[in-house]
A and B are shown apart, each in its own frame.
Chain A
Amino acid sequence: MDIVRVDQLKKYFPVTSGVFLRRTGHIHALDGVSFSVKKGETLGIVGESGCGKTTLGRCITGLTEPTAGEIRIKGKSFFGTHGVPRKESASTLQMIFQDPFESLDPRQTVRQILEEKYIIHGRDGKHLDQEIHALIEKVGLLPDALAKFPHEFSGGQRQRIGIARAISLDPEIIVCDEPVSALDVSVQSKILNLLLALQQEMGLTYIMISHDLSVVRHISDRIGVMYSGKMVELGEAGDIYENARHPYTRALLSAIPIPDPRGRKNRILLKGEVPSAEHPPVGCRFNTRCGYVQALCFEQEPLLQGSQENPDHWIACHVFNSGG
């Protein structure tokens, strides 16, 4: 069953200039993104800085209002004319951020931080203390953490607090935005293990945003590759890794440094700059950096389509998905 469905999602941020803040254009942060997520799976989202990953996560969790398109969560539309009020989705959907320090109030103790959600949602009954203790144990912290403030913890421990807060109301879906990017590898592996264990235990569905492809590979069932506000390739994690079709995905994969000196390889170095989000190129957005461009790539935007050999492997490319 599809627990999340995103249809033609768009988010444009206005660009203003001058003293009167005249609107002079738009940043196309998301420009027609569609995909679905099955219950209990992890969908990884990768792509370079500014391609729209965080905006996508924030739209899904309701922190940002989309410009157009539809988001359905468990069959209910949460955006568009028939949208259900957001509050209802709050206990279903949660988000974990890259820097838990920024998202944790420095003046609150861990106990206050964790209690807040229960209070907002009127679930601060007589078992609250018990629930908070169970929660802190679940994320691998000791009960004495409850009386401390965020700055008294290391980065990895702060991320555990962020995770505890996210799972406090038994959500079904968690959007993780770069949850381990700020952490050292030895801490990162512990947090990834925790996320994997919680998923098994609670049947969670994850949307895992990261620019680290080896992290995404390890934790995801399927992977979506974004470029300049578009989804350019989507498929099973193994397929994306072993059988990438889109030239951008292949360049991205070839750029990952492999921690094995015997594996030094030939890179596909991308020439040219990342396209501007305000004036994206006409046609395929990758046409300024692609080594395989043809005339059509400057005229028509390629659609994300299932490939002929494997309908579950979606590619948006005129050259490498000619049969559609």
Chain B
Amino acid sequence: MGENIILDISRLCVEFDTEAGRVRAVDGVGFQLKKGKTLGIAGESGCGKTITALSIIRLLPRPVSRIVQGRVLFQGRDLLALSKQEMQQIRGRKIAMIFQEPMTALNPVHSIAKQMVEIHQIHFPGLSRTKMADASVELLEKAGISDPGIVMKKYPHQLSGGMRQRVMIAMALACRPDILIADEPTTALDVTVQAEILDLIQTLKEESGMSVVLITHDLGVIAENCDDVAVMYAGKIVESAGVHDLFQYPRHPYTKGLLASIPSRAPRPKTMLPTISGQVPSLTDMPEGCRFQSRCPLCADICKSIDPDERIMGQNHGVRCHMADEQGR
């Protein structure tokens, strides 16, 4: 099994300096990304999805945050032990990332052509200008842009949200990365455009054999696009499994609660939806024991004192819960 794992993360911890002191935004996160597969990271706002992704490519906001522990093995090398220069060779070239709002990643004052060529200059300095331009047009075409010549001449603000995301994808794919990390790539888009972009990522993945980490809070997007899923809650992965196993036999009370509260999973329209009581505890005020205790219908004494370790149940199905049973639901 070890061979087909391209990214192996373990015990990752990230700390932030805040006014209220030092907080741990990511606490002991670990997962494995299989070659050619898509791993989904799900979870609600603030649970640490983006920070986890930024840790992988070592782009955490400085100086307020840092990785304090952990290992990020990419093709057998620990990325956290690399020098800045070595990391630059990996970032963009081997591991590329796209973001929710492409506007923040695109340069507003440069044309798409200029930005596309720039990417080639960084990574393939030997190429001639015309070769770079040709390659850019080809990439845009691949990203589903039907008139790349016209789009090349435009500036980011002249493009629709969907087109901007396609340009971002084209840029991310310029170096044929082994891994694409997509952080909420479609959250700002209409469902019809979302479907096109996800379809594009899926097609490109199948063509090139790259692996994808897809971050989203939308469990529908996870169900339709991922092979494996990790569910995060308050800085920890509370459950991880194959996508079918997770949706059919969710074991963690948080995952169960999340799934039950989705309107389209309700038995009948206009009926009350199941809810998860309470709120996520603040990072500055994390309880001892399990972080989900105050909202958990199964909470027992042990949950209030001991933080549950991950237990493997069934088919490689990891759960951090004292009360989860073997049977699932």
Contacts and interface: CB of A to CB of B under 8 A. Distances in A.
Interface of A: 48-49, 154-155, 184-186, 188-190, 192-193, 196-197, 211, 213-215, 217-221, 237-238, 251-252, 254-264, 267, 269-270, 273-274
A274 B190 CA distance: 11
A258 B275 contact: no
Most buried by B among A184, A190, A197: A184
A3 B25 CA distance: 50
Most buried by A among B191, B219, B259: B191
A171 B319 CA distance: 47
Contacts of B29: none
Interface of B: 44-45, 160-161, 163, 190-196, 199, 217-225, 243-244, 247-248, 257-259, 261-266, 269-276, 279
A237 B266 CA distance: 15
Given A255-B192, A258-B223, A185 B270 contact: no
A219 B220 contact: no
Contacts of A193: 272-273, 275
Nearest to A218: B263
B219 A267 contact: no
Contact of A218 (B160, B163, B191, B270): B270
B231 to A, nearest CB: 12
A192 B194 contact: no
B261 A217 contact: no
A186 B272 contact: no
Given A193-B272, A214-B262, A261-B247, A252 B191 contact: yes
12 contacts: A48-B193, A185-B217, A185-B262, A189-B263, A189-B274, A192-B263, A192-B273, A193-B275, A219-B270, A238-B269, A259-B259, A267-B195
A261 B194 contact: no
B44 A257 contact: no
A61 to B, nearest CB: 24
Contacts, number: 121
Given A257-B218, A259-B223, 18 more contacts: A184-B45, A185-B217, A185-B219, A186-B276, A189-B261, A190-B275, A211-B190, A217-B263, A218-B273, A251-B192, A252-B191, A257-B224, A259-B262, A261-B244, A262-B247, A269-B195, A270-B196, A273-B163
A258 B263 CA distance: 11
B192 A189 contact: no
A220 B276 CA distance: 23
B247 A259 contact: yes
9 cross-chain pairs, A with B, having the tightest CB-CB distances, nearest first: A257-B220, A218-B263, A189-B261, A214-B264, A255-B195, A189-B273, A184-B44, A48-B190, A255-B191
A48 B162 CA distance: 12
Contacts of A263: 223
A196 B266 contact: no
A257 B272 CA distance: 22
A163 to B, nearest CB: 16
Contacts of B45: 155, 184
Nearest to B247: A261
A39 B191 CA distance: 31
B293 to A, nearest CB: 16
Given A258-B224, A260-B223, A186 B275 contact: yes
Nearest to A262: B244
Nearest to B273: A189
A214 B194 CA distance: 15
B279 A154 contact: yes
A157 to B, nearest CB: 9
Contacts of A260: 223, 247, 265
Contacts of B243: 261
B272 A196 contact: yes
A263 B248 CA distance: 12
B100 to A, nearest CB: 14
Contact of A261 (B224, B258, B270, B275): B224
Contacts of A257: 191, 194-195, 218, 220-221, 223-225
Contacts of A251: 192
Nearest to A188: B261
A217 B269 contact: yes
A270 B197 CA distance: 11
Contacts of A274: 160
Contacts of A190: 275
A211 B248 CA distance: 27
Contacts of A221: 270
Contacts of B262: 185, 189, 214, 259
Given A193-B275, A211-B190, A213-B191, A261 B261 contact: no
Nearest to B224: A257
A218 B269 contact: yes
B220 A252 contact: no
A212 B138 CA distance: 34
A276 to B, nearest CB: 11
Contacts of B160: 273-274
Contact of A215 (B222, B225, B257, B263): B263
Nearest to A200: B270
Contacts of B265: 259-260
A261 B273 contact: no
Contacts of B224: 257-258, 261, 264
A197 B243 CA distance: 34
Contact of B269 (A188, A197, A219, A255): A219
A156 B276 CA distance: 13
Nearest to B243: A261
Most buried by B among A190, A197, A238: A190
A185 B261 contact: yes
B191 A258 contact: no
A30 to B, nearest CB: 19
A49 B190 contact: yes
Nearest to A183: B45
